[in-house]
Amino acid sequence: MRSVDVVIVGAGAAGIGMARALQAVPDIEYEILESGRIGESFHRWPAQTRFITPSFYSNPFGLADLNAVDAVTSPALAVGAEHLSGRQYAEYLRFVAEAAELSITCQCKVLDVTRRHDGYFELETEQGDYEARFVIWACGEYQFPDLNPFPGGQWCLHYANVADWQALEPGHYTVIGGYESGVDTVVNLVRLGHSVRLLVRRATWEQPGVHDPSVALSPYSQQRLRDLQPSGALQIIYGADVVEVSADAGGGARIHAADGRYWDSQTPPILGTGFLKGGGATQIADFWSWDESGRIRLSERDESLRTPGLFLVGPQVRHEPLIYCFIYKFRQRFALIAEEIAARLSLEHAGQEPGSWGPFGNAECCEGCQC
């Protein structure tokens, strides 16, 4: 069994950025375990999808590129592009990993995690077992789409399962969901010559007083939506709270709204309805404390309230009213976690037992303890 201080699970933006922050901790031994390639989720974005957040090399003036995972690199500079594609961003992450000589094992899915009585974690992986004092969960959400947001999800095509919009047959499409992935779908379909009906509960681009891009459509997408209007190929239906999709005898689908309206579609309805709450953290669901709305409750330092030594990084992190779903938001948490782990390791190295420190105290360390 290989033993390290910290295992980071996932080599996406959060895992790579977190490892960069840990490199500031003297003598720390860590390993990133990644089930696919570096930036695997970004490789899987639809070919036409672009970053919503702009990239620009402003680092020398103390304003890190909005999409950078550390203070010294820039996606814009690394690939010479603005509004990067998923593949370009994966390329940037690979560049950071190589330049910083990060310790990563790819094609190494973490299959199971247990926490021993002595406070150490054991991780069973596709490439053998690991032992670690701390685990940082950085599994993202893109590979964990909510395929059944309502009954009949099996008749639909989820945004996360599209590699290239060009593969779709010519036709009239219905897209469900009016936030970033729904609008991105619409933009790409119309650009490729399809006509589209977009069903939205409300206009995320018209919410007076709401400016946080975690809930309001970004200016980049608003502009792309406006640019479609002259084409006449887009119909937007408001107040559509979809509650079910059923198959009709002719091989098409019927989309039902809560108010009794329905729409028929000969092509599979496309879901821009989002991802599983908790995303990749659902792989170890019992290790977290969940609130009534299905979100993970964390300590002030993003540690599980149920499992000491387990931290969460990435878009699922929330500290109401703050939603950390963009890279420029969740990267702000990396240093906090690195600092916490450094402090605990230095206490341990000074001779204190694991578990005798930290926010939970000792024996009754956590809710529904996994120890």
Ligand X SMILES: Cc1cc2nc3c(=O)[nH]c(=O)nc-3n(C[C@H](O)[C@H](O)[C@H](O)COP(=O)(O)OP(=O)(O)OC[C@H]3O[C@@H](n4cnc5c(N)ncnc54)[C@H](O)[C@@H]3O)c2cc1C
By CB under 6 A, name the binding residues for ligand X. 9-15, 33-36, 40-41, 45, 49, 51-53, 67, 109-110, 138-140, 142-143, 181, 280, 283, 314-315, 325-328
CB of 315 to ligand X, least distance (A): 4
Closer of 90 and 253 to ligand X (Cβ): 90
For the chain, the helix, strand and coil percentages under 3-state DSSP, each to the nearest 5: 25, 25, 50
Closer of 9 and 270 to ligand X (Cβ): 9
**CA dist., res. 244 & res. 33, Å (int):** 38
CB of 243 to ligand X, least distance (A): 24
CB of 41 to ligand X, least distance (A): 3
Question: In DSSP terms, which residues pair with 227 in a beta bridge?
Answer: none
CB of 188 to ligand X, least distance (A): 11
Closer of 282 and 370 to ligand X (Cβ): 282
CB of 273 to ligand X, least distance (A): 12
Determine contact, residues 39/65, Cβ cutoff 8 Å: no
At 185, which helix (H) or strand (E)? helix 180-191
HSE-CB at 4 with a 13 A cutoff on CA atoms is 19
Peptide bond into 321 cis (omega under 30): yes
HSE-CB at 79 with a 13 A cutoff on CA atoms is 21
Closer of 53 and 266 to ligand X (Cβ): 53
Closer of 325 and 337 to ligand X (Cβ): 325
| Measured distance between the N- and C-terminal CA atoms of the chain, rounded to whole angstroms | 20
CB of 352 to ligand X, least distance (A): 31
Closer of 220 and 290 to ligand X (Cβ): 220
Closer of 15 and 152 to ligand X (Cβ): 15
CB of 135 to ligand X, least distance (A): 11
**CA dist., res. 136 & res. 310, Å (int):** 6
CB of 169 to ligand X, least distance (A): 22
Closer of 135 and 325 to ligand X (Cβ): 325
CB of 364 to ligand X, least distance (A): 30
Angle, nearest 10°, between helix axes 219-228 and 180-191?
30
Question: In DSSP terms, which residues pair with 9 in a beta bridge?
Answer: 33, 137
E strand map for the chain: 2-9, 30-33, 104-105, 110-115, 121-125, 128-137, 157-158, 172-176, 195-199, 234-237, 242-247, 253-257, 262-265, 270-271, 289-290, 296-297, 310-312, 318-319, 322-323
Closer of 90 and 365 to ligand X (Cβ): 90
Question: In DSSP terms, which residues pair with 112 in a beta bridge?
Answer: 124
Among 35, 32, 30, 38, residue whose Cα is nearest residue 12: 38
